[in-house]
Amino acid sequence: MESLAAEHAKELFGARHAYVQPHSGIDANLVAFWAVLGARVEVPFLEKTGVRQINDLTDADWAELRQAFGNQRMLGMSLDAGGHLTHGFRPNISGKMFDQRSYGTDPATGLIDYEALRAQAREFKPLIIVAGYSAYPRLVNFRIMREIADEVGATLMVDMAHFAGLVAGKVLTGDFDPVPHAQIVTTTTHKSLRGPRGGMVLCDDSLKDQVDRGCPMVLGGPLPHVMAAKAVALAEARQESFRDYAQRIVDNSRALAEGLMRRGATLVTGGTDNHLNLIDVASSYGLTGRQAEAALLESGIVTNRNAIPADPNGAWYTSGIRIGTPALTTRGLGTAEMDEVAGLIDRVLTTTEAGTTKSGAPSKAQHVLDAKIADEISHRATDLVAGFPLYPEIDLG
């Protein structure tokens, strides 16, 4: 089962090697970090000390190697620019393992500034540069990222958890396909790749032996039922229809962006090139992300609050709402429906006001929304998706 899933992954992404055991995205990233540490810290140390494996090291050498593991640097995208906690941030184990610095985005355009990143990499000299994101609505040029990594002697790792489906569906190709450019690529299998909850690592030959040590290095025993589901998802993603799906995800995302902006919303970076939109609800509607998220939920629309670059409301209340189009696209909604979705979201947010605390002070958490409007939007949202049932062929009686 495992080799079948791995073969599908290799064929689908054109990767030299695939490791399909990780139980989640976090685990896949941990496997990748330890693969790089193994290849670039442990192996040279063993060569230097002239022993074959770590159990043969003296206690003093072992202590030195353990210190060396903890002294490595990582450069990853900042959280408010769209990076992920697992890219070296303190609340995650990656931040406790690595000395991390973040690259952000250009304050004027909201886009990655590759020359600023290059300058930072030259100065910081990280062991690993992590590319990839959870909330960046544009393309990333992985050819340039690799060029920068090579220049400073770093390993380029790309976490494509969010956009793996767009890579699989050949919407992201050339400079925007991470697989030919990065030494190691990680992903979840449950986001745009549309498979079971899980993770996966792809890599070139230089890291494959280390990657295969994922279990028992950082992973518990394998989950064969999930690997079977990964094999199914990867086989589905190799079909022509998946390319059409991936393209429709992006068409829908653009339609949603246009619908929102036409109605007056401000989007981070002024639009989207991928599967996600990031609405700046603070400047568009005078709300925090938390208020907007709650008002939309009350109206039957599930979204996710998210920080925006240099967020004035911080990482908890936030100023953004992040919306992805893969799920609605799977149901069959198209660009016309996305415009209607934009209309529903805009109606909720224009009629919602920031609330107050019990003592009457302005609140970043409370909101005020007329229950009649919430009810009306909720009915319309329910009707809209009911027109696109998930499994029309299954009669639930």
Residue nearest to ligand PLP (CB): 25
What's the closest the beta carbon of residue 233 comes to ligand PLP, in angstroms? Answer: 14
Of the pair 162, 181, the CB lying nearest ligand PLP is at: 162
Residue 103 to residue 138: CA distance in whole angstroms: 16
Q: 171 vs 295, which CB is nearer to ligand PLP?
A: 171
Footprint of ligand PLP (CB under 6 A): 24-26, 84, 86, 132, 134, 159, 161-162, 188, 199
β-bridge pairing 155-159 and 184-188:
parallel
Q: Compute the least distance from the CB of residue 264 to ligand PLP, in Å.
A: 29
Give the nearest distance from C-beta 213 to ligand PLP in angstroms: 20
Nearest to 157 by CA among 141, 173, 146: 146
CB of 311 to ligand PLP, least distance (A): 18
Q: Which is nearer to ligand PLP, 199 or 289 (CB)?
A: 199
Task: Please count the other Cβ atoms lying within 10 Å of the Cβ belonging to residue 281.
Answer: 31
Least distance CB 218 / ligand PLP (angstroms): 13
Rounded distance between C-alpha atoms, residue 7 and residue 234, angstroms: 9
Q: Which is nearer to ligand PLP, 185 or 231 (CB)?
A: 185
Task: Pick between residue 86 and residue 299 the one whose CB is nearest to ligand PLP.
Answer: 86
DSSP, collapsed to helix, strand or coil, labels residue 146 as helix
For ligand PLP, which is the closer residue by CB, 94 or 329? 94
* Residue-wise burial string across 318-337, b where 16 or more C-beta atoms lie within 10 A, e elsewhere: bbbbbbbbbebbeeebeeeb
The half-sphere exposure of 327 on its side-chain side, counting CA atoms within 13 A, is: 8
Judged by DSSP in three states, 137 sits in: coil
- Dist CA 197 CA 378 (whole Å): 29
Instruction: Please give the Cα distance from 195 to 127 (Å, whole number).
Output: 32
